[in-house]
Amino acid sequence: MDKATVLDWLLEVKDPEIPTISLVDLGVIRDVRIADTGHVTVRMTPTFSGCPAMDYMRRDVERVLREHGVADFTVEMSLEEAWSSNWVTERGREALRAHRLSPPPMHQGIVDLDILEYAECPNCGSHNTTLRSPFGPTLCRALHYCNDCRQGFEQFKPV
């Protein structure tokens, strides 16, 4: 067993609110360490410190490790470093689009309301979109409207 194998197993763990994306591709799984003794440590950083799904995600990671025969493990929830939407992988961005969510734009660490104005429509790919509200159904989403295909959509917020 090595780190790549464990990360591959953890692709099975999906975000509870967006079942098309794994916690690995969302950037929530930050690190996997395997000690010489075989002890596995998985470090996670939630998208928001008050994320109501933190315990659920931890249990799902534990379940997958057990299913793959790992008995000696620790799952750490780390708030030392704030999660960044820049950690979403390209495969994760495609998974967001498949769920009809506009992926967050990349940023240089400073995120203000102006960056929310930029959103690609996940339905038609247009950039001719309008921010309707920076507050969506969850903390991590904003509401937009596409002026080309005339469909409303949600954007995963850049943070």
| pLDDT tens for each residue of 39-53 | 999 999 998 887 788
Q: Kindly state whether residue 94 falls inside one of the protein's structural domains.
A: no
Higher pLDDT among residues 17 and 71, named by residue: 71
| Residue 34, number of CB atoms within 10 A of its CB | 16
Structure tokens at 105: 């734009």
Local confidence band at 122 (pLDDT 50, 70, 90 cut-offs)? very high
Q: What percent of the chain has pLDDT over 90?
A: 75
Q: Are residues 78 and 42 both part of a single domain?
A: yes
Q: Kindly state whether residue 10 falls inside one of the protein's structural domains.
A: yes
Domain of residue 34, CATH code: 3.30.300.130
Q: Kindly state whether residue 80 falls inside one of the protein's structural domains.
A: yes
Backbone angles phi, psi at 98, to 5 degrees: -65, -25
SS3 73: strand
Q: Kindly state whether residue 95 falls inside one of the protein's structural domains.
A: no
Domain hosting 30: range is 3-85
Structure tokens at 157: 């917020």
Q: Kindly state whether residue 134 falls inside one of the protein's structural domains.
A: yes
Q: What percent of the chain has pLDDT over 70?
A: 100
Q: Which pLDDT belongs to residue 109? A: 76
User: How many domains does the chain fold into?
Assistant: 2
Is the CB of residue 142 less than 8 Å from the CB of residue 155?
Answer: yes
Q: Which of 57, 85, 113 is the last residue of a domain?
A: 85
Of 31-35, 87-91, 114-118, least confident by mean pLDDT is 114-118
Q: Which pLDDT belongs to residue 114? A: 75
